Every structure is written in structure tokens, then in C-alpha cells.
Amino acid sequence: MALEHLDVLIVGAGLSGIGAGCHLSTKCPGKSYAVLEAREDTGGTWDLFRYPGIRSDSDMFTLGYDFRPWTDAKSIADGPAILNYVRETAEAYGVRDKVRLRHRVLRAEWSTDDARWTVEVQRGEDPQSLFLTCNFLFTCCGYYRYDQGYTPEFEGRERFGGRIVHPQQWSDDVEWAGKKIVVIGSGATAVTLVPAMAKTAEHVTMLQRSPSYVSALPGKDPVANLIRRLLPTKRAYSLVRWKNVLLTMFFFELSRRRPDLSKRLLRWGAKRLLPKEYDVDIHFNPSYNPWDQRVCLVPDADLFKALRGDSASIVTDRIETFTEKGILLDSGTELEADLIVTATGLNLLALGGMQVAVDGRDVALPETMSYKGLMLSGVPNLALTLGYTNASWTLKADLTSDYMCRLINHMDEHGYDQCVPVCDDPSITKQPLIDFKANYVLRSIDQLPKQGSKPPWRLHQNYPRDIRILRHGPIADRALRFSTRATAAQPTEDRWLVAS
């Protein structure tokens, strides 16, 4: 029986996958496609995370799609508002009808002779796999594991008499009103949880082994809202988007070139929002430089407001062991708790965990190299979405989708069936894909593809530069090889034609 065939299969129906479908619908309108989603609904991250206070850690004028303006008054938006925006976009562009829920991709095998992918899919609990074929495979799975977060091994965990929950497994039956809570962690999730839970809890303690940089921003951007009152929606959105992109880039570059100055600015910002006697240098003075890890944004200074009252506090110490009543610290202090929240990070998972093979050989991702941050060396007709670490994820996701539509149209125009990035420059050396010192990255960086020391193999964390390369630069270059099925009978080393 013939397998169902589509021109493009998109894997993942989160922010990136829905955006990819929108781009395909408008820029490649003749192409058939489906969006395969392993979970029971669309929305990805914004459907998965349900913990108190869940919100964006980027402003919505850059986290929003470039083709669909964010119109809400809040610049730093809560999770339900973002989820609604993603789902409304899917409906508006007809992408929702292309989504197939509870379809988990297990394996994808490329055949050069046929110039197509055969994709193995598990549907819900059905033990019988479904197989689909496609010309182009576009993975929009993010880079972390959805079914479990990262929790270190804590001594004595089994002794604790209360409840322990990871934010990624938050459920409606978690109770915190009137209770003593310890949130373990210092990243974006922890600084979100503390002020949200402090509103009704007896007390919330943020227990951190080491501090993170935290910066307060207005929840509503007054400049953005003024511009939106004066200009038409699309023009205002574009202007505010660029304002925020350039401000973020400026602070990132300042942090890289003048880290001491950036440290002083962040310290001053925290100090002016906390009581005079507060020990800023213990609780808000990391050992690393700003933007070696992401700077945590708190809208309307909500974390600092909570710390100024009696409902929240920060303890910087190491855990010796869990006890029946809470957590015993290295200092000898015991933190009593009814509920412990382990906001201790993510587990990385490339390509959503799917196995990829080319002509019968499994692809070892760490042996591949990233081409322009969106394709892999030696892997034909496959793209992946990898957002920025120093800016909004969607900025790069939009550019990736735009480029892939251009690539597909270029191949149609020239009669090509397949394209593959090939690195044959001996002067290019491999480097880690992500230059980022966050623990969740360092734990798993060896499992990811590499980047190269020179373009087009180097991953830029620079939106304006990527616009020039991905949106306006030529598709054809020496590293991207094109072929037709007629050339498939040639020896492997001669099969790929250098694009001219």
C-alpha cells in the first residue's frame, strides 16, 4: 500500500512549528504539509508549563511573530496570553487544520535514490507505527526534553515529609496557599515562581547555590504603547521590535566588551529596588559575567517587591541533605518547608529525540556541523529551528522558516530534488554549537551538533547579520550542494553538484 506523501513535514506544533506552517502557507502556497505534534494539544512550551506566574523571559514584540503583531498592552506576557496568541495565529493562517496531535516522530530515514524521507510515527498509544514520506523535513522541536526536567540527586530526599515537585511536572493539585515553600534554583523559573507564590503562601524561600543576574523591566512598555497610539499597527510593531532588538544587542555587546560596567549597572539596579541593609553582593552578584548565562527579567520588579516584604527571602547556600521537615544547609541552618519546588533546570534533547538516518546509516549528531544554524552537514533536505541564546527565540525561528521557504522555492525553480550542506574546507575547525555557560547547556553540549570556525558554519547570535544572510543573501553557495534523482546513481563523492 502506498504511503501518504507530503511535500513538507513539520515536527512540533509549538511557537516555532506554528510559525513554520504560517510561512509555508504564505510563501510556498502550493506545497502540501502537515505538522506532527507528540503532545495532546498545540502550544509547545506554553501549553506544557503550568506553574504559578509562568511568563515570557523576552519581550513580546520580539517573541511574537514578525508577520503577526502582538497587540496586548503587556510587553512581558503571561503564559496563557502567549498560548492564546500562538493558537489564534494557527487558526488565522489555516495551520491548525494541518496539525496532527499525538503523533510522535520516532525515526526519519533519507533515501538518496528516492530523494525523500520516510518518517516513522507513533500515534498515541498505538503500538503499530505509522509511516509517512516527505520531500523536506523541518524539525521545530526546541532543544529540551518535554517529558522530564532536570533534578539533581539530593541526599535524604526520601525523608522529606512534604511534597516535592519540578515546575515542568506542575499539576492543578499542587497547593501552596498558607504554606512554607522552598524554591531551589536561581534562574528564570525560580524568579518567576517566588513572587507569584508569595502572594498567598506563608513564606517562600528561594534557595540558590549561586546567584543569577536579575533585571527589572516595566511589564507594559510605555514607549511601545505610545508608538502604537501614534502609528498604524504593523508600522508600530516593526518599530518597537527593532527598538527592543537594538537595545538587547547593545546590552549584550556591552556585557561582552565591558563586563565590569555591566555588572555595576545590574548591581545598581538591584540595590535601588531592595532595602538598604539587603546584602546584594551575596544574593545578586554571580561569579560569571553578564550574558555568560541569560539575564533574568522580572516585570514591574515583582521579585524585588516580594523580597522587600515578609513573604519572600533568598538564601545563598549549599544543600547538605533533605530532612523530615525541610532542607539542612552546609551552614547548619535548616529551612522548614511544606512544599519544595526543584526549579533546577532542563534536560536537552536534540531533534525531539528522533533518530535520523541517511541511506541506511544512522546520523551521529555530534559528528555533524551546523550550516547557517539551520541545517546539518551530510543530512539532505532537513532543517531545524534553533533560537538565539542572547535574544528572543522567535527572531531566529522566523528567519529560519523564511530561509527554508526560499530554499524550497529555489529548488523548484532549478529542478533540484535534494540539497545537502557539505564541509570540505580543511581549515574549518569544529566548536561547541552553543557558546553559553548555563548548566543545562554544559551538561549536554557533547550530544549536540557542532558549529564551525568560519561562515557558513558559524552560528551567529546576531539578528541583523542573520537577516542579511538568511533573508536577503543568496541561497546558492559552495557549501550547499544540489542534485536531482538522475544523479543518484553516481558514486557518493561525485553525487552532489556544487551550486553555481
| Residue 152 lies inside a defined structural domain of this protein | no
Query: What is the CA angle 355-46-77, rounded to 5?
Result: 145
Chain-wide mean pLDDT for the chain? 92
| Residue 151 lies inside a defined structural domain of this protein | no
**What's the domain count of the chain?**
2
pLDDT of the residue at 436: 67
Buried b (16+ CB within 10 A) or exposed e, 14-30: bbbbbbbbbbbbeebee
CATH number of residue 135's parent domain: 3.50.50.60
| Residue 197 lies inside a defined structural domain of this protein | yes
Find the mean pLDDT for residues 338-348: 92
Banded model confidence at residue 499, pLDDT cuts 50, 70, 90: very low
Banded model confidence at residue 460, pLDDT cuts 50, 70, 90: confident
Q: Are residues 161 and 85 in the same domain?
A: no
Provide CB contacts within 8 A for 37, sequence distance 6+. 12, 13, 17, 99, 100, 101, 102, 103
Q: Are residues 391 and 325 in the same domain?
A: no
Could you list the residue range(s) of the whole structural domain that residue 281 is in?
157-342
pTM of the model: 0.92
d(C-alpha 370, C-alpha 461), whole Å = 14
Domain boundary among 325, 342, 359: 342
d(C-alpha 361, C-alpha 249), whole Å = 41
Q: Are residues 488 and 364 in the same domain?
A: yes
Task: Using alpha carbons, select from 118, 143, 147 the residue that is nearest to residue 357.
Answer: 118
Find the mean pLDDT for residues 140-156: 87
Domain boundary among 342, 367, 391: 342
| Residue 253 lies inside a defined structural domain of this protein | yes
Q: Are residues 182 and 106 in the same domain?
A: no
Find the mean pLDDT for residues 441-457: 85
Banded model confidence at residue 489, pLDDT cuts 50, 70, 90: very low
Give residue-wise pLDDT tens across range 348-365.
888 889 999 999 999 999
Give residue-wise pLDDT tens across range 3-33.
899 999 999 999 999 999 999 999 999 999 9
